[in-house]
Every structure is written in C-alpha cells, then in structure tokens.
Chain A
Amino acid sequence: MQVLRRVLLAIVAMGFFAGAGVAADDAPPPKLPKSTADHGKFKELQRVFASGPEVTKACLSCHTEASKQLHQTQHWKWEYTNPTTQQKLGKKHVINNFCTSVSSNYKACASCHIGYGLKDEGFDFASEENVDCLVCHDSTGKYKKPSGFAGHPVTKDTEFPPGSGKIIRGIDLSAIAQKVGKTRRETCGTCHFYGGGGDAVKHGDLDSSLDQPDKALDVHMDAEGLNFSCATCHKTEGHQVPGSRYAPTAADREGAHLRGKADSSNPATCQACHGQAPHTGKAKLNDHTDKVACQTCHIPAFARGDMPTKMSWDWSTAGKRDEKGKPLVVTNDDGHITYNGIKGDFVLEENVKPEYVWFNGTVNYTLLGDPIEKSQQPIAINRFEGSAGDGKSLIWPVKLFRGKQPFDPINKTLVVTHLAGEDDTAYWKNMVWDKAVAEGMKTLHKPFSGKVDFIETTAIWPITHMVAPKDKALGCNECHAKGGRLDKIEGIYIPGRDANKLVDTIGWLAAGGILAGVLIHGAIRALRRKH
C-alpha cells in the first residue's frame, strides 16, 4: 500500500514539474509586425524632409522600380483609352456634372493626384521623384494634401489662401515616412470617399463611413468581422489596381479564382471569389446569375452609412450672395449644404434605392467638343450600354446623378470652367460665368463663343460597394411585382411583372363565362325545384 502511495506521489510530482517546465516554454513569443521591415529603423528615413519629392527619393533608394510601375497606372496618368470605344477618358479628359472638369483647376484637383506638382498641362509625367508614395502608404492618418497646392503636402505652417489669415499646419513627413505600410480603407478613401468635392458626394457607395464600417453597412469590410481592405478585392500587383469604372467587368462568367490557376479575369468582381452559383441550397437564386448582377440584390440601397450623397447639382442657380456680399450658403436641418453661391443647388439623399439598367461593361462618354443640343436634354454625360439580348449584359444597380451645368449654346458643346484659383477669372472667386468659362476653354485651346447657358445632364455611377449581409439582400417580391424595382427593365419576362394580356383576357373571360353559365344553369334548376 505504502509503495503504491509513493509511486502515486512520484507520478504527481513528476507531472507537476513537467507541467511547470511546459509552462515556462509556453510563454507567448513577442508580437512581431507582419512586415519584415520596420521603416522606423531605416537610416534613409531618419532625417527631416522638407517636401514630398524628398521622401519619394528616399523610398526609391530601396524600392527602385516603384515609380516606373506607378507611371503606367491610371492613378498617375489620369488618362485611359477605352479599348472598345477608343474614347480618351480619365480625369484629364472627361467632363462630369459635379465640378465638371479637372482641366484649368489642377491646383485644387491634384490634391487627389498620386503625385507632386500637377498644376497644369506642363506637368512632367516622367518624373520619378514626383510620385507620391505616402498618400497611399501612410499608416498614421496624418498625411494631408490640401487643396490648392497641386498635390503637395504642407510641411511648414502656411497661410492659405495668402492674406486670408487661415493657417494650414505643417506636417512631419519624417514621422509619416517611418511608419509606412500597406494601403488601407482610409488611404484609398482619402480620395475615393471624397470625390466630387466632399465626403460621400460622388459615388453613393463610397464614403468615409467605410473607414470603420459595421457588418450591416458592408459585410466584407466589417471592421469587427472580415475587415477587408480595398485591396482584398482590388488585388493589386506591381501597383496596377484592377477594377476600373471606365471599363468595368459587367458580367464575369468565370469561376472563382483558385491558387495555382492562372486567372486572367478581374479579381475585383464578386464572382472572382464566389463563383457562378453562390447560393447553397437555393437553386432558384443561382438561376438569376445569368441575368442579374450580384449587386442588384445584395446592395438594396446606397449611401447607407449616415452620409448623404449628392443626387443632383444645379449650377444654373449659382451666383447668389448674402447681405455681406459673401456667397450665400444654405444648410439643411442636418447641417449639410443644399445651396452654395459659388456652386448652386444640391439635392442630398441617404439610403437611396438604385436605378437599374442593362450593362455590358461599355461606357460611352459625352466629351468636350462632342455636339450637344439643348432640345435633347438631359444629355447623358456617360451612357451604360447593354441590352437583354446581347449576351454580355447583366442588370446592374446604378446611381443616376442629375446635373444642370454650363455649356456653350452657340458652339453647342460642354465647357471647361475655371473654378478654383486666386486669379480674377476663377468662378469660385468672382462668380462671373463667361470669364470663368473663357479661361477654362483657353487653357485647353478650345473654341468658346463667349455665351454661357445651362443644360441638364445625367451621369451614371455603378453601385458595387456597401454589400449588405445576406439577410438584408432583396427578397423576390421587390422585383417580381408590377411596379417593382425592375419595372423599367426591358427585354426579359419577369414572372409577377409580366403577362400576356390577350391570354389573360381570354382566360378570365372563359373562366368567368363558365362560372356565369353554371350559376345560371344552377339558378334555373333551383327555380324549377327539380334536380
């Protein structure tokens, strides 16, 4: 008995010491960053940087090929030739119906260029040091490119506009450079959330609510869930970001991408991960993927993050001043501007139900110089091509943005307006249309009659972000009904919406006739009180 007790004791003791030993080995290893490099330890970055290009030179001393890669991107060139339509697009060329054009306004607009010094047409697009690494790779959130500096950050406290008494604080580029990292939602959002001149203005499905979204707003980017960055879908190689709005993939018929398989298709589509039959156990839903884009059901509304998006912009009412002679500004109950003397009237909306169109991926733009007629307004700034029968189209949700913008009624073209600047001709300074348009057209050496009128325009924006969780996806009844969401979609038979009127009329007449016949027959029987 005693022997047994001793043996047991020995076993317990061994277990104890063994356990203690394991515990010592189990101490968690120090948490290391996932990156193999700590930029804070790089000598090249331990110095004062007086300007952006100085930082870039330091970056290039290791990342030797980075600028060459960026030089080939749309982000740098602001130019894109659509291979289908051969139209020259990109910010350099398109006219939109927000602030209408980048041309002649570069100093302000270039705060969203991934470069330094894009102030006019003379910018050197071959310059390597003028590529801005920090705007995409800043991890501190402190990097800023204020409007009016042609894309340069401000490193010393600067009064801007000069003489205004407003001071823009200088930022410490050294601290920012030492903490560079991968792109994040916030870095992409610096520009893409603020397109059109402010948060949520342009896209409708991209705004700062996506910095830290919850699951209801975006099931993939959910900060406490899947926490996708933009690049998770826009899977970038060599700085080429896939998924362009100028030539989108409207109907991806490929399967889900697989490691080891050479996938040449756009990695940013839903299908690139989810494939063609993503609804398990719901065969009828999978039957829809040949005609309906995923986004149509899975993005029930855009601007869902408490940020209203602009739905229309009327430039023709601009020009009003308040009693002090300053541009009149009117805000709504939520504090959002609905009228600005230098811009005109806006309509803002949240939780907007999209419009729906057939879309095959080809977008046609009305460009500067294209003939337009006021009798044909609204003029489509861009047109989504597609139809039920072309075999390439899906039904897409879109934001339809309505504008009323200056045009030349004599030459019958859209115009470039010089809006931003401290000179005498800028509309935002002097609020005189013909001067501003004349200057704008002059910078591009385009003819201008001297007359300014206003024309209604429409622009279409594809809705593809803010994907809702599946329980918030559209139900069948939203479209399979008369007057439903797809009421205006032509070329397909939608059960619940469509019916052959002739068959219905004959059918109900026949059924009603038989019913009336048997009722009369029965009534006569009842009256005769026989059978």
Chain B
Amino acid sequence: MAKIQVSTKINNENVDYLCEPHDTMLDVLRNQLELTGSKESCGSGDCGSCSIILDGELVCSCLMLAAEAEGSKLETIEGMSEGGKLHALQQKFLEKAALQCGICTPGFLMASKALLDHNPSPTETEVRFWLAGNLCRCTGYDKIVKAVLEVAEDMKESA
C-alpha cells in the first residue's frame, strides 16, 4: 500500500515524512521523527499526555492522523526551550516541583503554553478548566496550577 507524503513545519523546521493512512500524529512523532517527548498514555484523548499545538490550537496528537497534518504547523515539547534555555513554564515547573514521574509533564507544559498564548492572565478557575484535559496521577494539580499562575504573573511584571 502506498504511503502518504506529508509536508509540515514542526518546531519551526520544515519536516516531510511518509506515513501509513492509519498512523496517528503521535505514532509519527515518536516512532519516525524521534520526538519522544509527547507521551502516549490513554490513546483515546482522555489524558492529554500527547498534547501538541497544531496551527495554534491545543490538540491530542493521538486523536489525529499523521496524514491530516499536511501543510500544518506543529509545536511539540521539544521546541519549547530556546537555545538550551528553558521556557519560563518549564523553569517554574522545576522550581515549584510541579511534577513527579514526569509522564504527564510534556502535555501539561504544552497545554499551559497554549493557555498563556491565548490568555496571558488567566484566573485560577480558568487555569483549572483549561488543564482539565490533562491528567496527573502523582502530584495532584495544585502545584501545577500555581506554577502556571506564577508564570502569568511574572510575564505581566516583565511586560
């Protein structure tokens, strides 16, 4: 069966790949492009650990076909730091111990980034609603929510 050729931009680099019609975006990211930061936990859109930003929107990469990404811009966790410098959210997650085992963390970071991209000064309620599609079984959510709120506050002060 013929593979499908797909042209995308991933983390600001042009990336072309060949995929099977049934490959999910997550399959291709992890197994072909070696971008293994996005995790597969549930594979059905419930846990958010495969979250990526597709053309500006937060999506589960397990719930889209790799073929659907033709012409799209993707952001994954691998593109979050710049030149070895951690993104403010990554730094704050570390400082606040907003992670334990780390499996959910890339998804939380992408979701938090998407939130602050759309809404730079969210309320605590808005943060909690926005992150409701990301599940963590270790830390609970308080430290994560506080980290996101602090980054939003820091951004306001430095603006």
Answer yes or no: do A and B interact. no
